[in-house]
């Protein structure tokens, strides 16, 4: 049968020969197929089959870290590139398929809607911007993953939090899993400049993070010591001087809400999302945050409202800066040494809680797919081998060893990974989806008045979302 030629080099260690037609379950070296998958401990639930050269089509976003996160033509020596290549070759061989990547003409890959609505079966999987994924869903263009028998969302390569958050009234149209590195790449983190800490005679915040005492108040104390008038003109300006904390409107003002365990949408006892943004703790969180960010010790950059100051952190002119974990790679060119810690908890009684930047991609399956279970099986396998091969390449080798510059930062990245959450109120649309960054654009970022002005619209947005996504009237 055709599977006799399907030889798969798995990380250059295991050669698989599957002989289903004659009942021979052996692989090279004398191991049985069952023994092999048991050794790997992760794909025994995936039934291998000959798909007769089926072309599995991936619709991907253009740009760096988008299409090549899913598909590369050849090995180049780059460890992540090569892990993606080997993962795809493994899955191609196991199922006798081809894999084709189609690059979207839109940065968010939201341009497949008309194709799907026209009934054209052009893609097996779509990996759009997270907010675009929900727009696909509310336009009734996606498969309910609960109806796909070959995808097991209980497996470790699927994000448990998004499965719980986005499963509404039995409808689950978006997933996040280890088919992509985006869940880690776009997780928010706090970077700090070791030289500035050393000059001030301050301890790095690693031990506080490990002890659970790394809080917003402790962070604020350090920030107030980190600003410095470098040119002696009596002013602290972004073009010349040093800040205690440098952030963007789309970073800190969004992440801070989750540092206190708050969410825009939270599920009630019936499992239905409700608007939960307005609370006394949210008021306190934003009040403290903007009190700090409006001081001379902090530079909060608002694109579109001011000229870019450049990367103050990379230039060694910021004690702290928050960004995603993937940006550690770009910081390798810094002259100063840097460390990574989780975003501080709001209080010591809170848990570390890391939101994933909405720029990350999510996984969708268009309703035009001719065989949901076939495409689902391939997606499951891509995620499974991504979990085994690609994520370790990104996390253990590239992120923890190559980019992070000390052993302590590795422990911090573990904390961040364990604290990842999705708030569908942040990524599914609605007037409050960017509440923090919207407040950051206002001269008086008063949350209570902002919420009061927009509550009615927010409730209407949520009602419309639940009707479209969860079929809840």
pTM: 0.89
pLDDT of residue 157: 94
Q: Which three-class secondary structure string do you get for 212-277?
A: CCCEHHHHHHHHHHHCECCCCCCCCCCCCCEEEEEEECCCHHHHHHHHCCCCCEEECCCCCEEECC
DSSP string, 412-444: HHHHHHHTEE--HHHHS-STTTTHHHHHHTSSS
Residue range 88-110: mean pLDDT, rounded: 95
| Residue 417 banded pLDDT, cuts 50, 70, 90 | very high
Q: What number is the average pLDDT over the span 203-225?
A: 97
* Mean pLDDT computed over 433-453: 95
pLDDT digit string, tens, across residues 256-298: 999 999 999 999 999 999 999 999 999 999 999 999 999 999 9
The count of other CB atoms within 10 Å of the CB of residue 230 is 12
Q: What is the CATH number of domain 2-184+360-401?
A: 3.40.190.10
Would the pLDDT of 12 be above 70? no
Give the pLDDT of residue 399: 87
CA gap 157, 380 in Å, rounded: 9
Which structure tokens are listed for 2? 């055709």
**In the chain, where the domains are located:** 2-184+360-401, 188-355+407-469
Q: What is the mean pLDDT of residues 237-256?
A: 96
3-state secondary structure of 99: strand
> Which pLDDT score is estimated for 317?
97
Segment 169-196 shows an average pLDDT of 96
Q: Decide: helix, strand or coil at residue 409.
A: helix
pLDDT, residue 44, reads 79
Mean predicted lDDT score pLDDT of the chain: 90
Q: Do domains 2-184+360-401 and 188-355+407-469 have the same CATH topology?
A: yes
Share of the chain above pLDDT 90, in %: 81
Residue 333 DSSP class: G
**pLDDT at residue 105, as a whole number:** 94
Dist CA 153 CA 312 (whole Å): 41
Report the pLDDT value the prediction gives residue 395, as an integer from 0 to 100: 87
What confidence score (pLDDT) does residue 36 get?
39
Q: How far is CA 412 from the centre of its chain?
A: 17
Give the per-residue pLDDT at 25: 35
Q: How confident is the model at residue 41 (pLDDT cuts 50, 70, 90)?
A: low
pLDDT at 35: 37
Mean pLDDT of 164-174: 97
* Predicted local confidence at residue 331, as pLDDT: 87
Q: Are 151 and 382 in contact (CB under 8 A)?
A: no
Model confidence pLDDT, tens digit, residues 118-144: 999 999 999 999 999 999 999 999 999
pLDDT, one tens digit per residue, over 327-367 is: 998 888 899 999 999 999 999 999 999 999 999 999 999 99
CA atoms within 13 Å, Cβ hemisphere of 291:
10
Residue 37 pLDDT more than 90?
no
Domain 188-355+407-469 has CATH 3.40.190.10: yes
């Amino acid at each position: 049968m055709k599977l006799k030629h399907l030889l798969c080099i798995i990380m250059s260690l295991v050669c698989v020969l599957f002989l289903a037609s004659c009942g021979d379950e052996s692989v090279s070296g004398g191991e049985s197929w069952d023994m092999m998958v048991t050794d790997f401990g992760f794909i025994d639930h995936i039934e291998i089959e000959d798909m007769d050269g089926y072309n599995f089509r991936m619709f991907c976003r253009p740009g760096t870290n988008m299409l090549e996160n899913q598909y590369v033509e050849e090995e180049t020596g780059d460890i992540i590139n090569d892990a993606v290549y080997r993962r795809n070759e493994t899955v191609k061989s196991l199922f006798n398929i081809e894999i084709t990547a189609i690059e979207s003409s839109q940065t968010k890959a939201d341009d497949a809607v008309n194709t799907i609505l026209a009934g054209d079966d052009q893609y097996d999987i779509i990996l759009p911007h997270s907010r675009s994924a929900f727009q696909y869903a509310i336009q009734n263009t996606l498969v309910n993953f609960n109806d796909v028998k070959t995808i097991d969302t209980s497996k470790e390569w699927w994000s448990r939090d998004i499965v719980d958050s986005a499963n509404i009234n039995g409808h689950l149209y978006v997933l996040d899993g280890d088919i992509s590195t985006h869940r880690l790449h776009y997780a928010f983190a706090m970077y700090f400049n070791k030289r500035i800490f050393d000059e001030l005679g301050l301890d790095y915040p690693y031990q506080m993070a490990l002890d659970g005492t790394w809080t917003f108040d402790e962070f604020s104390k350090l920030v107030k010591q980190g600003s410095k008038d470098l040119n002696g003109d009596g002013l602290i300006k972004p073009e010349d001087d040093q800040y205690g904390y440098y952030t963007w409107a789309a970073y800190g003002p969004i992440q801070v809400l989750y540092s206190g365990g708050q969410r825009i949408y939270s599920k009630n006892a019936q499992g239905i999302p409700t608007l939960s943004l307005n609370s006394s703790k949210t008021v306190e969180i934003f009040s403290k945050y903007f009190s700090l960010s409006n001081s001379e010790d902090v530079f909060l950059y608002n694109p579109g409202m001011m000229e870019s100051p450049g990367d103050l952190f990379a230039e060694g002119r910021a004690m702290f800066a928050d960004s995603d974990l993937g940006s550690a790679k770009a910081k390798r060119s810094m002259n100063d040494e840097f460390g990574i810690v989780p975003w501080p908890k709001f209080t010591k009684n809170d848990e570390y809680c890391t939101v994933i930047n909405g720029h990350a991609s999510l996984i969708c399956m268009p309703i035009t797919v001719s065989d949901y279970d076939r495409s689902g099986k391939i997606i499951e396998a891509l995620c499974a081998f991504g979990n085994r091969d690609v994520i370790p390449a990104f996390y253990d080798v590239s992120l923890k060893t190559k980019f992070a510059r000390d052993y302590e930062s590795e422990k911090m990245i573990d904390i961040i990974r364990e604290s990842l959450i999705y708030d569908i109120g942040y990524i599914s649309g609605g007037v409050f989806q960017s509440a923090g960054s919207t407040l950051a654009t206002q001269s008086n970022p008063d949350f209570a008045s902002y919420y009061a002005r927009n509550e009615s619209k927010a409730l209407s947005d949520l009602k419309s979302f639940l009707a479209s996504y969860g079929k809840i009237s």
